[in-house]
Amino acid sequence: MSAQTISFPGVAPRVPQWLSHVPAFRDLSREELERIARGTAQVHCERGQVLFQRGDACRGFHIVVYGQVKLVIPAPEGSEKVVEIMGPGRSFGEAVMFADRAYLVSAVALADTLLLHVAKETVEAQIEREPKLARRMIAGLSMRLHMLVKDVEALTVHSAQQRVIGYLARLDPEATAGRVTLPAQKSLVASRLNLTPEYFSRILHDLSAAGLIRVEGRDIEILDAEKLFK
């Protein structure tokens, strides 16, 4: 079953407000947001629906309003590698859009999800009117490149336990004792970290046994942040 795309002849209700939460669009005026909204479509996905497949043409980028989407690289034997789990407020597809390339990943809804699809032509027209938008989008892409390099470093240099601890640190940016929630079921997070589900669960068990965390389903309580994140 494919995703359902809904386009409006004018400015769809609430779309400018949703767009204003995207970092690149945050400082735009109401008039500018409404202009972008006219080139934006709402995309509804039910859980399990495919938003796009690896190799499909990219004609814009997506923003998650609510719900959750996993970006995956399919494997020939039917398995998949989870590249990222995208929640509300996250956007994806900008780099592929600007490069005029096909998607390198597939996107699948993990829950009932509403996304915005901003057409490439709309972004380019706004950049022509407001060059500062290009700088903000470049800044966002640069940050993602930085995080990608950190991911490569983790996969090639860090131990499996260090990768898990580093991931928990991302969920708790202040690195303080508290409670964090895994963004998806453990098997998907394990794939994101290039681990088997069994190995991921074993690491969580070892950290729990050491008195550093307490695991309750997808909720993880940080008991000793100083030792865990040292």
* Phi–psi pair at 25, nearest 5 degrees: -100, 0
The band of 148, judged by pLDDT with boundaries at 50, 70 and 90, is: confident
Q: 114 and 43: one domain? A: yes
Q: How far apart are CA 172 and CA 184, in angstroms?
A: 16
Number of H helices, E strands in the chain: 9, 12
At residue 158, the pLDDT reads 84
Q: Which residues span the domain enclosing 195?
A: 158-228
At residue 1, the pLDDT reads 47
Q: 92 and 185: one domain? A: no
**Residue where one domain finishes, among candidates 147, 170, 197:** 147
SS3 72: strand
CATH code: domain of residue 80? 2.60.120.10
Decide if 85 contacts 110 (C-beta within 8 A).
yes
Decide if 105 contacts 70 (C-beta within 8 A).
no
| 63-74 tens-digit pLDDT | 999 999 999 998
| 117-127 tens-digit pLDDT | 999 999 999 99
| 76-104 tens-digit pLDDT | 777 789 999 999 999 999 999 999 999 99
Decide if 92 contacts 84 (C-beta within 8 A).
yes
At residue 4, the pLDDT reads 56
SS3 99: helix
The band of 174, judged by pLDDT with boundaries at 50, 70 and 90, is: low
Task: Give 90: exposed, middle or buried? Use CB within 10 Å, 0-12, 13-18, 19+.
Answer: middle
Decide if 107 contacts 74 (C-beta within 8 A).
no
Q: 16 and 87: one domain? A: yes
Contacts with 124 (C-beta within 8 Å, 6 or more apart), sequence order: none
Mean per-residue pLDDT, 190-209:
94
Buried b (16+ CB within 10 A) or exposed e, 38-76: bbbbbbbbeeebebbeeeeebebbbbbbebbbbbbeeee
Q: Is the pLDDT of residue 13 over 80?
A: no
The chain-wide mean pLDDT, for the chain, equals 89
Q: 143 and 201: one domain? A: no
Q: pTM for the full model?
A: 0.84
Q: 219 and 179: one domain? A: yes
How many domains would you assign to the chain?
2
**Residue where one domain finishes, among candidates 126, 147, 168:** 147
Domain membership of residue 20 (yes or no) is yes
Q: 211 and 137: one domain? A: no
Q: 179 and 121: one domain? A: no
CATH code: domain of residue 193? 1.10.10.10
Q: Is the pLDDT of residue 12 over 70?
A: no
Domain membership of residue 153 (yes or no) is no
Q: Which two tokens stand for residue 74?
A: 């399919």
**Residue where one domain finishes, among candidates 147, 170, 198:** 147
Task: Give 112: exposed, middle or buried? Use CB within 10 Å, 0-12, 13-18, 19+.
Answer: middle
Strand pairing report for 213-216 and 106-109? unpaired
Q: 59 and 119: one domain? A: yes
